[in-house]
Structure 1
Amino acid sequence: MKKFIILNVWSFFRFSIISILLLLINGMFIIANAKIVSSVKPIGFIAEAIASGVTDTDILLPDGASPHTYFLKPSDLVKLKSAQLVIWVGEDIETFLPTILKDIDKKKQIELMQLPQVKAFLRVGQKHNESKFHHENNHKDHFHNSEYDEHIWLSPKIAKIIAQTIHDKLIIQYPNKRAIIDENLSKFTTKLIETEQNIAKKLISVQNKGYFVFHDAYGYFESQFGLKNLGSFIINPAVQSGVQKIYAIQQKLKEHQAVCVFKEPQFNSAVIEKLVDGTDVHIGVLNPLGTDIIPSKDSYSQFLLQLTQQFLDCLDNK
């Protein structure tokens, strides 16, 4: 009798465990029902603008995380494998993605750095300038993305290409919703042009004010709007800055070449507080990933305007 009770308890326990696991797996697939998954939030903003009213979108990278240092979770793998379209930048930014994406159909992916239209607007990154000798002598057949600044979501010009590319993919996948997709693209482009004009006017007054950034990420935005970036503490946040670089920045701060030093919420930037101590240099915060902005039709423009205001909040203090 005792043995029978034990067997029944074990059977019930085993059934319960299996049931819970099935519920969890089903729950993960319900969570991961987005048809379009973007790697980082600003790309997700563009995807949401074009796909609004057509299909669901989702973003892989959570607020507060960096694409340079992120590790995929099991729920992320489910999202990626169940997505109808995955949009990502390139292997130098999202180092956590290439391995898993090898097992996903290329037709279900948009790797933005590989688009010919995007390549036409790419700027050489500081990373390549500072390590040209290393690349030329040790990585002659290295994938060419390493030469370029991959923070392409900070370029309104490239954002329009990304929007057009998503539009073209969605028309193939949802031919019966072409009118909505066309209208979404038109509204996005019109709104973005207005935003660019607005930003250009706002930033005229601070174009000659020098500053340093924690992380070399803003080149596209800075070159379009004529801002005066004097340098960055680090190029890749996964690699610490050398003593020489820190010393050089410290000297420039002492020589009053900069009015601001910008940190980022994604990274521990305690070095910045130490460097500006005893100077009249302001510390500002730049958020290149649009943390806390909720994806919507207008969220990409909101993201650019937020970044603009973050520049002004610090640079306009002088």
Structure 2
Amino acid sequence: MQLLRFHLLVILSFIGLVTNANATIISSVRPIGFITEAIASGVTNTDILLPDGASPHTYSLKPSDLIKIKNADLIIWVGEDMEAFMPTILKNIDTQKQIELMDIAEIKTLLRTNHYSDDKHESHDDSDHHHGEYDQHIWLSPKIAKIIAKSIHDKLVKLYPNKAQLLDANLNEFITNLSETEQNIAKKLINVQNRGYFVFHDAYGYFESHFGLKNLGSFTINPSVQPGVQTVYAIQKELAEHQAVCVFREPQFSPAVIKKLVNGTDVQIGELNPLGTGIVLEKDAYSHFLLALTQQLLDCLDKNSINN
């Protein structure tokens, strides 16, 4: 009897997973999911594949993820240099049910290369921050976000032709709101454009170039390992030479590691979240995401807000 009950629970759990996965648009990473939700709102359910805190470079799919992908109406992902696990999984999925964003011609013309110029610095440990020839963090470009939204719209119109009017309205609303958000962000950041900073993940190029920010370079160190004396010295030397105001860590970085690097300097520590962790998946989530990133920058770069 106990064995029968166990088998029944397993079957019910499996059915539950399949039911939750039905009629869904799946986005690989959270910020792409924000754009998707804006366009699909009121049309169909959307879901995000990667849980909060997971890296798209190293994520291992769970059985429930495979069920979601198999049952999805559409899967939206960035590209193989961002989500290395996706090409193998999508081999058996109809290409009409996929959007690979890095493959869109309009986006290709706006891509930034990952090559570093002479006045930018990437040094120390090579972790998992190299994403091929092009910068794949395309969701941080408002211009590319509008192309992503249009591409999702066009695909959903084919999938749900009877919802074309609502999809049109959603796209227009997204573009209008995003344009207003861009203007708002530009005003907020204008006073910190000359305040230089370093990051520990070179992910923000699209956003920085769009809003004229002064990223001095990137230090790639292992966030879980205390840096050695030589590494600390080299980083502190660069912070001083370039008169950096801030260094920005990401949520997965140990505060203790970063404090050691800036110890004895006037450099502030800030935190940036390029994946929108904690932002609720709703129609206006993408604008909330960009505004949250803006505030994270201001919290460290703006002299008037440092002690607030």
Residues 1:258 and 2:247 are matched in the alignment: no
- Displacement of 1:18 in angstroms is 2.0
Candidates 106, 113, 118, aligned match of 2:102: 113
TM-score relative to the length of structure 1: 0.86
For 1:149, the equivalent position in structure 2 comes to 135
For 1:194, the equivalent position in structure 2 comes to 180
Contact 2:227 2:257 in 1 (8 A): no
SS in 2 for 1:149: coil
Select between 263-272 and 16-25 the one with higher mean Cα deviation. Answer: 263-272
Structure 1 gaps of 5+ residues are: 1-11, 131-144
- Displacement of 1:241 in angstroms is 9.2
Q: How does 1:57-96 map to 2 (within 5 A)?
A: 57-96=46-85
- Displacement of 1:107 in angstroms is 1.1
For 1:6, the equivalent position in structure 2 comes to none
For 1:3, the equivalent position in structure 2 comes to none
Q: How does 1:1-318 map to 2 (within 5 A)?
A: 12-126=1-115, 146-234=132-220, 247-255=233-241, 257-268=243-254, 270-317=256-303
For 2:128, the equivalent position in structure 1 comes to none
Distance (whole Å) between structure 2 residues aligned to residue 157 and residue 235 of structure 1: 31
Structure 1 or 2, whichever has the larger Rg, is 1
Give CA deviations for 1:235-273 in whole Å, capped at 9, x if unaligned.
998999999876543212233620000000134464322
- Displacement of 1:30 in angstroms is 2.1
Distance (whole Å) between structure 2 residues aligned to residue 241 and residue 154 of structure 1: 29
Q: Could you tell me the percent identity over the aligned residues?
A: 68
- Displacement of 1:224 in angstroms is 0.5
- Displacement of 1:33 in angstroms is 2.4
Distance (whole Å) between structure 2 residues aligned to residue 215 and residue 168 of structure 1: 33
Select between 229-238 and 161-170 the one with higher mean Cα deviation. Answer: 229-238
CA 128–151 in structure 1, closer or farther in 2 if over 3 Å, else same: farther
TM-score relative to the length of structure 2: 0.88
Distance (whole Å) between structure 2 residues aligned to residue 173 and residue 236 of structure 1: 44
- The number of residues matched between the two structures is 293
CA 88–75 in structure 1, closer or farther in 2 if over 3 Å, else same: same
Structure 2 gaps of 5+ residues are: 121-130
CA 102–158 in structure 1, closer or farther in 2 if over 3 Å, else same: same
SS in 2 for 1:232: strand
CA 194–117 in structure 1, closer or farther in 2 if over 3 Å, else same: same
Structure having the larger proportion of residues in helix: 1
